Amino acid sequence: MKANDLYTTAHLFVAAVRVLDHRDGAPPSLEAVCRLLDYSDEKGSFLLNRLKEPGIVDTVQSGFNDRIVVGNHLAIEELPRDYEESRLEQELKKFKQGRDAMQEKVASIKAQQDRKKQDLFAEIEKKLKQKMDRK
């Protein structure tokens, strides 16, 4: 699934509200919008709350459940157009950086041990040559 920024998602959400309003002749419920967009109820509720803050959409209470109406659709243009990383993605990125740093540290320790081993063998070889030369 392509990750969208809030700007693009807001346009999609408002368009779904308008399409359902036109098709059904009444403001749609959150469940209907989520079904049309194939969003979970949690994601739809999150988007509804994010879009209610700047007044892009609003809810009207009806007898059974709340209905969504389009408010100031021009406020969409003021939303950020860049992709917002979720906390999970941020933590995953931090974990990968930590793992990469650990791998680099392990590689440097291995290289250091290899150098010590080579130095030790060179020293032993030097002592053996000295003993051989004495005889």
Q: What is the block-wise mean pLDDT of the chain (135 residues), using blocks of 10 residues? A: 74 94 93 94 92 92 87 87 74 92 95 94 91 82
pTM of the model: 0.59
Report the half-sphere exposure of 90 (CA within 13 A, side-chain side): 5
Residue type, 70: V
Element (H, E) at 36: helix 30-37
Nearest Cα neighbor of 56 from 12, 2, 24, 3 is: 12
Element (H, E) at 59: strand 57-61
